[in-house]
Amino acid sequence: MSASEAGRDRDAPTPAGRRELPILTTTHQPPTCGARLVHDFTPDLIDVGAHHLCPGCGEPIAMRSMVEQVTELGQVNKAIAVFGIGCYTAYSNNLDIEVLQALHGRAPSLATGVKRCRPDTLVFTVQGDGDMVNEGLQEVLHTAARGENVTCLMLNNGVFGETGGHMTAATVLGQRTKNTLDGRDAARHGHPIRLANLIAELDGAAYVARGAVDNIVNITRTTRMIRNAFRTQLRGDGFSFVEILTMCPTGWFVDTAAAPAYLANTHAATHTLGVLKDTARAPGPHAAPEGTTAWPA
């Protein structure tokens, strides 16, 4: 980011509809001693910090936001996570949260069975766009339409990351994948599905939002969306859904450092960020108003 970009009005939207924080200058000198661990910031519920996911992958960030909200809402020993199949599945091993492993696409149905039998638990699914929009579109739409009191989280990176970067139903036009080598072309490959928008149309859906983890502002907003989705469920208001755009430098064949910008300029331009539906209206005592960067107290 150039100095002139850094100095611009931070409320002015960028072309991708996002706002950026200015870069602050610092007077700190380089450290004089070697690095050492002063504090382990691994959240309590992630009991194996290391993981198999690629450097620069956005999924661990989303996962972290998720487990932090389970803790902050006091749901640690009431939470049941239903995992789909994708790179994030490896993370089900790292969590100190009860996990029910589903097949591709089926997680919302499993979550329905769990919640109907244990209405006192916090039940949420973790799925990718390949899992949820391709294989499991029917399941998530019907679960939302039934107004099941569960939360579905979709990690949307626009590719089948685990298979090595193939087109999903959420891949944006122009994106190159292993099976759209010249870029996704509407005439040949159809149009991307904006899942959060579809779900927001359904009467059973109480809270629907789309966030991203490409920068700290969006991570903070996404964390708040997850919090609001969980609170929707805890109030018993019905189906809640948070779609989270995540980086997949490996599947996108993009440099790790360039992946956040790629997300902002391609994915977020089609899958636009924001809260699409919040039937609760009245934010709870801890919720910061949308559009602010304050961490919820």
Partner 1 sequence: MSASTSGATTRPAARPTVLAGSAAIGEAMIAAGCRFFAGYPMTPFTEVLEHMAARLPEVGGVCVNAESESEAIGMAWGAAATGTPAATGSTGQGLSLMQESLAEIVHARLPLVVLNMARAQGDYHQATRGGGHGDYRHLVLAPCDVREAVELTGYAFHLAEYRRSPVLVMGDYYLAHTHVSVDVRPTDFGPLPPRDWALDGSSGGTGAAKLISPLSDRKQRHAGDRADAGYDLAEFYVRRGAALERMVAETEPRAETGFLADAEVVVIAYGTPALYVRQAVSDLRALGRRVGYVRPITLVPFPSDIVRAAAADARVVAVYENSGGQMVDDVRLAVLGAAPVRFIGRLSLDPSGFGIAPDLDVGAMRHRVEALFEPAHETPSR
* Strand ranges inside the chain, DSSP E: 79-83, 98-101, 122-128, 151-156, 159-160, 166-167, 205-212, 239-245, 274-278
Verify binding: residue 264, ligand SF4, rule CB under 6 A. no
Counting every residue, how long is the chain?
A: 297
Nearer to ligand SF4, 97 or 248 (CB): 248
Residue count at the site for ligand SF4 (CB under 6 A)? 12
Sequence-ordered list of residues with C-beta below 8 angstroms from that of 177, at least 6 positions apart, any chain: 159, 165, 166, 167, 171, 184, 251
SS3 177: strand
Q: Would you state the structure tokens that stand for residue 237, as one six-digit string? A: 């208001």
Verify binding: residue 200, ligand SF4, rule CB under 6 A. no
Nearer to partner 1, 108 or 165 (CB): 108
CB of 174 vs ligand SF4, minimal distance in Å: 19
Neighbours of 81 (CB within 10 A): 27
> Which of 156, 222, 232, 250 lies at the binding interface for ligand SF4 (CB under 6 A)?
250
Pick left, alpha or beta for residue 281 (phi over 0 → left; psi -120 to 50 → alpha; otherwise beta).
left
Rounded CA separation 53/243 (Å)? 20
Nearer to partner 1, 121 or 215 (CB): 121
CB of 144 vs partner 1, minimal distance in Å: 11
Residue count at the site for partner 1 (CB under 8 A)? 46
> Which of 161, 192, 211, 260 lies at the binding interface for ligand SF4 (CB under 6 A)?
161
Return the range that interacts with ligand SF4 (CB under 6 A); candidates 29-37, 174-182, 247-255, 288-296. 247-255
Sequence-ordered list of residues with C-beta below 8 angstroms from that of 225, at least 6 positions apart, any chain: 209, 211, 242, 275
Verify binding: residue 80, partner 1, rule CB under 8 A. yes
Rounded CA separation 182/189 (Å)? 11
Nearer to partner 1, 95 or 263 (CB): 95
Nearer to partner 1, 51 or 166 (CB): 51
What stretches of 161-280 show up as alpha helix (H) in DSSP?
186-189, 195-200, 216-235, 249-252, 259-262, 268-270
Contact map string, positions 86 to 125, toward partner 1, x by CB under 8 A: ----x-xxxxxxxxxxxx--x-xxxxxxxxxxx--xx---
Chain contacts with ligand SF4 (rule: CB under 6 A): 53-54, 57, 59, 87, 157, 161-162, 248-251
Chain contacts with partner 1 (rule: CB under 8 A): 44-45, 47-52, 70, 75-80, 82, 90, 92-103, 106, 108-118, 121-122, 138-139, 142
